[in-house]
Amino acid sequence: MRHSEKISPAIAYIRETFAPEDVSLKAAAQAAQALSMPIHIGAEEGKLLQLLIRLHGGKRYIELGTLTGYSALWIARALPEGGELITIERNPQQYAEAQRIIGVSDVAHKVRLLQGDGLAVLEKLASEGPFDGIFIDADKLNYANYLDWAERNVRQGGLILGDNTLLWGGVYLDPAPEGVSRAAQQSMQAFNATLADSARYHSILIPTQEGLTAAIKLFKGD
């Protein structure tokens, strides 16, 4: 998929003013670049995730798609003492880089890093739930499946977040742009449509460059 590294002067100003990166964040961004991977979120989105989590006030969150730990560092730093982020990465090389980077960071004690297939690891984690929230930033084909798990294992009042939910235009362009599969398009449209149901969620797709859907789960269900 495509990722735009170009940022506007406005975003550059926001990053400089509100979301400076420390050595750990810089190391995570560099490690992702060295593996030819996008860093998944920008610094301003990292700060937005922190704000959402602080407003929400929970203690235990899950992240799907650690990459090299960039977003995990932002999220973990928003957690109170005693809080925990469980972050899941399938790729062994990215997992190793994340271990190294998070391990020497100030939030090493707040992050549990698990390696494996997202859905398989989630199934094992279900017995530890319900969780306060989840940040989904993994393979776009499985967003609808991850949400299915979240509906059962995130508490009532919990926070469900998904990155890249505009799918590079794939959720509203037909046919989908090059590089976006029909299956990914359908999965992401289903993800957003489910979360847009105001009887079950209080939600919005925040118009970041790539789209960040944020939803509070209103129903009990599990």
What x/- string results for residues 115 through 144 when contact with ligand DHB is judged by CB under 6 A?
----------------------x-------
| Residue in 32, 40, 52, 188 binding Mg ion, rule: CB under 5 A | 40
Nearer to ligand DHB, 139 or 218 (CB): 139
Nearest approach in angstroms of CB 30 to ligand DHB is 17
Tell me if 164 contacts ligand DHB by CB under 6 A. yes
Tell me if 137 contacts Mg ion by CB under 5 A. yes
Closest CA to 24 of 75, 84, 61: 75
Q: How many Å apart are CA 131 and CA 100, to the nearest integer? A: 26
Q: How many Å apart are CA 62 and CA 195, to the nearest integer? A: 18
Tell me if 89 contacts ligand DHB by CB under 6 A. no
- The residues pairing with 88 across neighbouring beta strands, listed in sequence order, are 64, 114
Residues in region 21-40 near ligand DHB by CB under 6 A: 38, 40
Amino acid at 107: V
**Beta-carbon-side half-sphere exposure of residue 106 (alpha carbons within 13 Å):** 12
Q: How many Å apart are CA 14 and CA 37, to the nearest integer? A: 23
Which residues would be at the binding site for ligand DHB (CB under 6 A)?
1, 3, 38, 40, 137, 163-164, 210
